[in-house]
Amino acid sequence: MHKVVEPKILYFGTPVVLISTLNEDNSVNLAPMSSAWWLNQSCMLGMSSSSQTVANLLRERECVLNLPSSDLAHAVDRLALLTGRNPVPERKANVGYQFEPDKFGTARLTPQDSDLIRPPRVAECPVQLEARLEQVHNFELPSSLKAIEVKIVRVHIDEQILMTGEKNSSFWSISKFC
Ligand SMILES: Cc1cc2nc3c(=O)[nH]c(=O)nc-3n(C[C@H](O)[C@H](O)[C@H](O)COP(=O)(O)O)c2cc1C
């Protein structure tokens, strides 16, 4: 038997991406997001434009999409109610979000230089994807949601998840990711 329901939002859970971007003062922001899907060498990110990440991405046009393993769930949790935006937008403040300028330190993660872009990778993440902004689409107007298309320009994979003897293929076990 199925029942008709009217959920406030539709959310079925997808792997988490830790997205690193550069703030205006060249410090680094890091935020969890999970509305991401992939096609060829591109990724579409569903994000609220009230986030510091989107402001950074629109200005700098670069980001790293870091895919954490399940071992890093605690680091993701430590970032969950934080924003790099100051002052904290009212809607976020009302549900307990706080401003945090040092997301890497708070999450206990390590920045690692990228090859082609300025925002750093997350050293602990087994997959790190350097990306450049391609296009921004408004989504579900008049909401602040954006569908942000980025192109992956460099792929870094932890050797431990590379398939033996395969130069360019990795072992994508979905259960390994948050
Ligand atoms: C597991 C998880 C998944 C999330 N997924 C999204 C998402 O897909 N899109 C989005 O806009 N925010 C998402 N968020 C909320 C952002 O992390 C939140 O808005 C955060 O404040 C953004 O940080 P920033 O303002 O420093 O960019 C998610 C949060 C968590 C913990």
What's the gap between Cα 135 and its chain centre? 17
pLDDT tens readout for residues 28-64: 999 999 999 999 999 999 999 999 999 999 999 999 9
The pLDDT, as a whole number, for residue 10 is 85
Cα–Cα dist 176/178, whole Å: 7
Residue 132 phi/psi, 5-degree rounding, is -120, 145
Model's pTM, two decimal places?
0.93
- Among residues 26, 32, 14, the alpha carbon closest in space to that of 106 is found at 32
Ligand 1, atom nearest to 178 Cα: 1
Q: Which two tokens stand for residue 67?
A: 């895919």
User: For 124-138, what is the mean pLDDT?
Assistant: 97
The pLDDT, as a whole number, for residue 173 is 44
Q: Structural domain boundaries of the chain?
A: 17-176
Pocket-testing residue among 29, 30, 51, 79, ligand 1, by greatest number of atoms within 8 A of Cβ: 51
Burial of 163 (0-12, 13-18, 19+ CB in 10 A): exposed
Among protein residues, the one whose CA lies closest to atom 14 of ligand 1: 33
Fold designation for 17-176: Pnp Oxidase; Chain A (2.30.110)
Burial of 143 (0-12, 13-18, 19+ CB in 10 A): exposed
Distance, CA 33 to ligand 1 centroid (Å)? Answer: 4
Q: E-strand spans in 139-177? A: 145-157
User: For 22-29, what is the mean pLDDT?
Assistant: 98
User: In angstroms, what is the C-alpha Rg of the chain?
Assistant: 17
Q: Is the CB of 21 under 6 A from ligand 1?
A: no
pLDDT band at 171; cut points 50, 70, 90: low
pLDDT tens readout for residues 139-160: 877 788 999 999 999 999 999 8
